[in-house]
A and B are shown apart, each in its own frame.
Chain A
Amino acid sequence: MNTLIKIAWRSLWRNRRRTILTASTVVFAMVLALFMRSMQFGSYNQMIQAGVNQVGDLQVHDTGYWANQSIDRAFFYNNELGDSLKSLPFVKSFLPKLETFSLASYGTQTKGVLVTGTDPILETKQTNLAGKIIKGKYLTSDDNGVLIGDKLAEFLKISIGDSLVLIGQGYQGITAYGIFPIKGIFHLPSLEMNSQLIYMSLQNTQEFVYPYREGLLTGISVFLKDPSQLEQAKQQIQTKLGKNYEVISWKTILSDMLQTIEVDNVSGQIMLMILYIIAAFGIFSTVLMMTMEKRKQYAVMVSIGMQRTKLIMVSIVETFIVAIIGVIVGLIIITPILIYLNMNPIPITGDMAQMYLEFNIEPVIPFSLQPGIFIYQTLIILGLSLLSALYPIIYLARFNVLNAFRH
């Protein structure tokens, strides 16, 4: 075996230029593939992270709420529920929420908005909402004020201290009505959120929607310590809480987004496939030429007594070495670049930035360092290279020694 490897290795270096050119094809494909996949997965993760931070890994609602999100499907919080959730080891934190649609009005301007009642302390711990305040102050637990997005403030022409009128749907048919001072103005990465969202303290919202009884919620967002335990967590929580409640995962809540990601993922893979096929052809043509050139040498080897299987081994080893060199050089080139970009994502500006904001994503191009990307691409490239070696294998198994001598 050693001798075979020796022969394969030296044959490659005998024709250095060709070996380098072929390896370069692999390097090129490798660098490009990894760059693109890292970028794609970076943005997928970014989108998912942003989404999950907003909605939670899981959400608990009254049964049937998700199918029909009406305020009448709200439920009352009881301590038992809280204790059940707290007792589960994989739960990192949970945020109670009360959401309803209202009409916000100031002066002659009105807009439909989503009122979100949340516990200010827990909320900022999870999403750092306090850090996104650009004017005014954040909410306290029993605050009567509201936080609105900068775009909404602009539209309503309202500023800190002004009184906002909210009319909306209350629980069990009552009209929710209230006048609230603007406590603070926030800026979130999404245009949609900045123009449609209003935060109030949970207590305040509960008063607004149903003043007759405490503890009304539309849902509880649950955040897990280990996101990979999603399925088990979901099942366990559902079992624990019983059939009065439903537990929905972020995959359902953000299913539209997931499908968009899938579209992009598939199209990316298709483009890569095309690139790989071309690289494979490049490798194939080299391997083909190498085989044809060495016909006489192969004929001599079989004549003096070398089994064809050994010849085939030499050919496979040659192809493999070239592929490995290409892969390694490719990795050496691209990995430091990706590490740098992972820590310093590329910022996006101008019109494209707008488009990102529309879809709720921060306008940067992030890069992922998931090991899966590297492993997967390496395997594909090695596999394709070996596939290109198929022709010489077939030739070596069947070629006629005497004919090879003659030409």
Chain B
Amino acid sequence: MSIIKAEGIYKTYNETNVPVNALNGVDLKIEQGEFTAIVGPSGSGKTTLLNIIGGLDLPTKGNIFIENTNLNELSSRQLIDFRLRHIGFVFQAYNLIPVLTAKENTEFIMVLQKVPKKEREQKAMELLNAVGIGDKADHRPGQLSGGQQQRVAVARALASQPRYIIADEPTANLDSRSTHELLDMMAEMNKKYNTTFIFSTHDQRVMDKAKRIVTLDDGKITSDETFQR
């Protein structure tokens, strides 16, 4: 069963009195364990699609099912809770709470899920080690490089044990080496824990590592290729 099923998604913005059709009929199914990139030129609607898949926005027309739950039917409070339990996020920047350490940031999501103290402390260290920055556990984001911050973001995303992780241009602010390191680490998580990763990107290096590439243009899917990697 697909964990994500987008059916006939349309999204129109009316902000500036000129209607913008960001998505014009998108159908997409994503399975457990995928490592998928959504690509396209600026204005293609990839961010919009990602927001909808991530439960941050609702379609103007169409349905979005996350494992049989129709997001349209949830109240805003329920949506927030849904995201907490099922979806992980890695943003381009400003991911972490600046006043908490790497360890505390990772624990934070578990605090929200009311995981008991001992268990979450253990899990947090485990994840930080898994993403390769166990030694920086007590550093605050201000003391970490861009690449290190993104690793913590991934650790945190994994900590909630989500169905899938949404990453919106996660490597946009990183140099070449950090980009590779981050992607390799995420690919490993994907292999090891079978976590689904969905990126939006226009970084070729990211696309090179993706197992499936969905291309959007003018709000419609123009190609959908799967690779053996």
Q: Do chains A and B touch in the complex (CB under 8 A)?
A: yes
The answer to whether the Cβ of A274 comes within 8 Å of any Cβ in the partner chain is no
Residues of B within 8 A of A7 (CB): 97, 99-100
| Given A11-B99, A402-B56, A305:B51 Cβ within 8 A | no
The answer to whether the Cβ of A213 comes within 8 Å of any Cβ in the partner chain is no
In the complex, the answer to whether A297 meets B83 with C-beta atoms within 8 Å is no
In the complex, the answer to whether A297 meets B89 with C-beta atoms within 8 Å is no
In the complex, the answer to whether B97 meets A297 with C-beta atoms within 8 Å is yes
Q: How far is the CB of A308 from chain B (nearest CB, A)?
A: 7
Measured in the bound complex, the distance between the Cα atoms of B101 and A10 in whole Å is 11
Q: Which of B40-76 contact A (CB under 8 A)?
A: 51, 54, 56-57
Q: Which of B90-104 contact A (CB under 8 A)?
A: 91, 94-95, 97-100, 104
| Given A3-B108, A3-B111, A308-B80, A303:B94 Cβ within 8 A | no
In the complex, the answer to whether B57 meets A305 with C-beta atoms within 8 Å is no
Measured in the bound complex, the distance between the Cα atoms of B91 and A405 in whole Å is 10
In the complex, the answer to whether B112 meets A14 with C-beta atoms within 8 Å is no
Q: Which residue of A lies closest to B168 (CB)?
A: A405
Mask: chain A, 197-236; 1 = CB below 8 Å from B; 0 = not: 0000000000000000000000000000000000000000
A296 touches which of B77, B94, B111 (Cβ 8 Å): B94
A: interface residue count bin? 20 to 34
Residues of B within 8 A of A252 (CB): none
Q: Which residue of A lies closest to B55 (CB)?
A: A303
A305 touches which of B81, B98, B99 (Cβ 8 Å): B81
In the complex, the answer to whether A306 meets B80 with C-beta atoms within 8 Å is yes
Residues of A within 8 A of B83 (CB): 303-305
Measured in the bound complex, the distance between the Cα atoms of B51 and A10 in whole Å is 31
Q: Which of B120-176 contact A (CB under 8 A)?
A: 156-157, 160
Measured in the bound complex, the distance between the Cα atoms of B91 and A297 in whole Å is 11
Q: Which of A288-326 contact B (CB under 8 A)?
A: 296-297, 300-308, 310
In the complex, the answer to whether B99 meets A302 with C-beta atoms within 8 Å is no
| Given A401-B56, A402-B51, A305:B85 Cβ within 8 A | yes
Residues of A within 8 A of B56 (CB): 303, 401-402
The answer to whether the Cβ of B185 comes within 8 Å of any Cβ in the partner chain is no
Measured in the bound complex, the distance between the Cα atoms of B156 and A307 in whole Å is 17
Residues of B within 8 A of A296 (CB): 94
In the complex, the answer to whether B99 meets A14 with C-beta atoms within 8 Å is yes
In the complex, the answer to whether A306 meets B95 with C-beta atoms within 8 Å is no
Residues of B within 8 A of A310 (CB): 112
B binding-site residues for A, Cβ under 8 Å:
51, 54, 56-57, 77, 80-81, 83-85, 87-89, 91, 94-95, 97-100, 104, 108-109, 111-112, 156-157, 160
